[in-house]
């Protein structure tokens, strides 16, 4: 098989990537620990009242805690906006499925994923997350593939775990 397709790195693509990747992670209050630590640092520096910085350091930590809180509450918008501001946004990506593996090429990325480099896969509602041996993940949207190419992908990657 030698299947080739292209897609654009745009807001709908980034939104789908975020939503499907987040479906793997259970909701936890652990994400708010950093905010609590920053608030404690702010309170500490306000209580200590170091002469040289006279409370500015405490205010700095409170502002950091507030920004971190916003990043947790608006995680999806925050992440999608950061991706849209990246230099890769708006570029066309060429994806090739072959007997040797998956090749992803764009102006800024040239990645070759061999079938043996895929440790496991997780099937999501709209695509497939590839868990690679090096610890990274790659998301492939089902909308980019024909049914035949999608079946080829599923047959050549490790058994998918349905989430």
Encoded tokens for 78: 């925050």
Residue 13 has pLDDT above 90, yes or no: yes
Encoded tokens for 66: 């507030």
- At 160 the pLDDT is 55
CA dist., res. 151 & res. 28, Å (int): 34
Number of H helices, E strands in the chain: 5, 8
CA-to-CA dists, residue 59 to 31, 37, 42, 47, 126, angstroms? 22, 14, 6, 12, 44
Break the chain into its structural domains and give their ranges.
2-23+91-162, 29-85
Q: What is the pTM of this model?
A: 0.75
Instruction: Give domain 2-23+91-162's CATH architecture.
Output: Roll (2.30)
Residues 74-114 have pLDDT tens digits of 989 989 999 999 999 999 999 999 999 999 999 988 999 99
């Amino acid at each position: 098989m030698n299947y080739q397709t292209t897609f654009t790195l745009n807001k709908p693509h980034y939104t789908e990537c975020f939503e499907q990747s987040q479906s793997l992670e259970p909701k936890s209050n652990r994400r708010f620990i950093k905010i609590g630590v920053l608030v404690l640092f702010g309170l500490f520096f306000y209580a200590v009242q170091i002469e040289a910085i006279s409370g500015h350091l405490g205010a700095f930590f409170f502002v950091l805690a507030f920004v971190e809180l916003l990043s947790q509450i608006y995680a999806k918008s925050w992440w999608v906006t950061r991706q849209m501001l990246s230099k890769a946004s708006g570029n066309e990506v060429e994806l090739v499925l072959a007997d040797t593996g998956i090749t992803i090429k764009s102006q800024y990325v040239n990645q070759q994923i061999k079938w043996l480099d895929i440790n496991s896969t997780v099937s999501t509602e709209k695509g497939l997350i590839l868990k690679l041996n090096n610890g990274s993940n790659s998301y492939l949207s089902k909308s980019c593939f024909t049914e035949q190419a999608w079946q080829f992908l599923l047959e050549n990657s490790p058994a998918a775990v349905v989430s």
